């Protein structure tokens, strides 16, 4: 009987923790909704201001050329929540089993272009629950992860359509970096460089791109307190955003995937293996339904899959995951179109 009571108390404690995280997620989503309503109201009021006709003189050709190089792009801020993320060797105490980690994340994405340059920046800050504690204890671990990509379209560079062939709309030369810091006991500090071509495929709406990269990673391992200098390896990186309609609902299917070939030995002397990951999101455009402002506010559901996480074999605790998550996205400057990165 005492064992049953103890088990019941443990289950109740877990349910209370999950309820607390759910309330926090609901409050953040409510905040995003209020921000979207405020943004929509501000845009509506500004659009109703009567504008006097403006007469402009003809601009010289040089001014027209300058206008073509003005920056264009879109920016979004998202909140995400999931309850069963995994990290290699983060385990339930005294079990040897991988821990399910609840995480709250805020993500900022910028997609834009200036002249022949296309740029992409993704900054995500995530806080885990106590299943993945911070090294100093007292709270869950906090991670900051940054993805940067910069591409030069070869059609634009050559002032031609030489790279618009068959299913291809363009080919770009791309460079980029992934940067990470996390205050867990493992203390990862990823610094990864990416260089290679990106193939831009012609699709009716949205975009579908595939990058083929030379990849070089440096990292840190806090258990032994050693830096990690991995062997250069090969990366395939598809990215996509495909919009469609179901009745009056505007929906978009977006995401990215990665294949990374083995990258040599880790700090423990173990050989790494190929890793596969995919992050896909289905977004429903709430702005067009609730506020008559398309691409202002999205309600999202997604799936995060990772096999052989960080190059560790999937047989290791926490080295594979299939994690559903939910979120809400606010398009800054609402109503701006999505751009092809």
What does the pLDDT read at residue 224?
86
For residues 305 and 288, the answer to whether their CB atoms sit within 8 Å is no
Share of the chain above pLDDT 90, in %: 67
Instruction: Write down the pLDDT at residue 30.
Output: 52
Of residues 2 and 311, more confidence is placed in 311
Q: Residue 62 has what pLDDT? A: 39
Whether 201 and 209 have beta carbons less than 8 Å apart is answered as: yes
pLDDT 10s digits, 163-194? 999 999 999 999 999 999 999 999 999 999 99
The stretch 151-158 carries a mean pLDDT of: 95
What is the percentage of the chain residues whose pLDDT exceeds 70?
Answer: 76
User: What confidence tier does 31 reach under pLDDT thresholds 50, 70, 90?
Assistant: low
Cβ neighbour number for residue 124 with a 10 Å cutoff: 17
Which pLDDT score, from 0 to 100, does residue 293 have?
74
222: number of Cβ within 10 Å: 16
Is pLDDT above 80 for 215? yes
Q: Return all residues near 225 (Cβ < 8 A) that are at least 6 apart.
A: none
pLDDT of res. 67:
40
Q: How deeply is 321 buried, as exposed, middle or buried, from its count of CB atoms within 10 A (0-12, 13-18, 19+)? A: buried
Write phi, then psi, for 145 (nearest 5 degrees).
-130, 130
**C-alpha to C-alpha distance for 103 and 83, rounded to whole angstroms:** 6
Residue 51 has pLDDT above 80, yes or no: no
Once rounded to an integer, what is the mean pLDDT over residues 101-128? Answer: 94
- How high is the pLDDT of residue 17? 52
Spatial distance between the Cα atoms of 111 and 295, rounded to a whole number of angstroms: 15
The answer to whether the CB of 153 falls within 8 A of the CB of 170 is yes
How far is residue 337's CA from residue 219's CA, in Å, rounded to a whole number?
37
Place of tokens 């307190």: 225
Q: Hey, which residues does 91 pair with through a beta bridge? A: 98
Q: To 5 degrees, how large is the angle CA 322–CA 323–CA 324? A: 130
Decide if pLDDT at 221 tops 80.
yes
Task: Reduce the secondary structure of 164-210 to three states and give it as a string.
Answer: CCCCEEEEEEEEEEEEEEECCCCCCCCEEEEEEEEEEECCCCCEEEE
Looking at residue 288, what is its pLDDT?
Answer: 76
Across 145-158, average pLDDT: 96
pLDDT value, residue 113: 87
Residue of higher predicted confidence among 288 and 15? 288
Q: Could you tell me the pLDDT band of residue 115, with boundaries at 50, 70 and 90?
A: confident
Cβ 194 vs Cβ 177: under 8 Å: yes
pLDDT of residue 289: 75
- pLDDT category at 247 given cuts 50, 70, 90 is confident
Greater pLDDT, 53 or 108: 108
Whole-number average pLDDT of the chain? 83
Q: Are 92 and 99 in contact (CB under 8 A)?
A: yes
Give the pairing of strands 233-246 and 249-260: antiparallel
The pLDDT confidence band at residue 298, using thresholds 50, 70 and 90, is very high
């Amino acid at each position: 009987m005492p064992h049953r009571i103890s088990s019941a108390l443990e289950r109740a404690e877990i349910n209370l923790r999950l309820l607390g995280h759910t309330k926090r997620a609901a409050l953040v989503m409510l905040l995003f909704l209020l921000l979207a309503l405020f943004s929509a109201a501000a845009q509506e009021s500004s659009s109703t201001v009567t504008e006097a006709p403006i007469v402009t003189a003809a601009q010289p050709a040089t001014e027209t050329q300058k206008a073509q190089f003005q920056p264009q792009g879109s920016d979004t801020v998202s909140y995400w929540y999931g309850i069963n993320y995994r990290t290699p060797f983060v385990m339930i105490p005294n079990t040897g089993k991988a821990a399910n980690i609840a995480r709250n994340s805020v993500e900022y994405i910028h997609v834009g272009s200036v002249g022949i340059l296309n740029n992409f920046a993704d900054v995500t800050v995530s806080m885990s629950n106590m299943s993945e504690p911070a090294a100093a204890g007292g709270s869950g671990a906090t991670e900051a992860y940054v993805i940067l990509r910069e591409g030069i379209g070869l059609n634009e560079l050559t002032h031609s359509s030489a790279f618009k062939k068959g299913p291809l709309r363009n080919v770009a030369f791309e460079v980029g970096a992934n940067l990470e810091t996390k205050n867990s006991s493992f203390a990862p500090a990823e610094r990864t460089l990416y260089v290679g071509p990106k193939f831009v495929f012609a699709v009716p709406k949205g975009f579908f791109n595939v990058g083929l990269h030379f990849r070089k990673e440096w990292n840190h391992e806090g258990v032994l307190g050693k830096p990690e200098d991995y062997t250069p390896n090969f990366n395939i990186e598809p990215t996509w955003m495909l919009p469609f309609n179901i009745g009056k609902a505007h929906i978009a299917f977006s995401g990215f995937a990665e294949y990374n070939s083995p990258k040599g030995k880790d700090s423990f002397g173990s050989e790494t293996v190929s890793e596969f990951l995919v992050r896909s999101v289905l977004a429903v455009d709430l702005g067009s339904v609730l506020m008559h402002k398309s691409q202002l506010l999205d309600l999202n559901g997604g799936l995060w899959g990772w096999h052989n996480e960080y190059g560790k074999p999937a047989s290791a605790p926490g080295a594979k995951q299939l994690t559903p998550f939910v979120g809400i996205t606010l398009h800054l400057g609402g109503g701006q179109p999505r751009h092809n990165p």
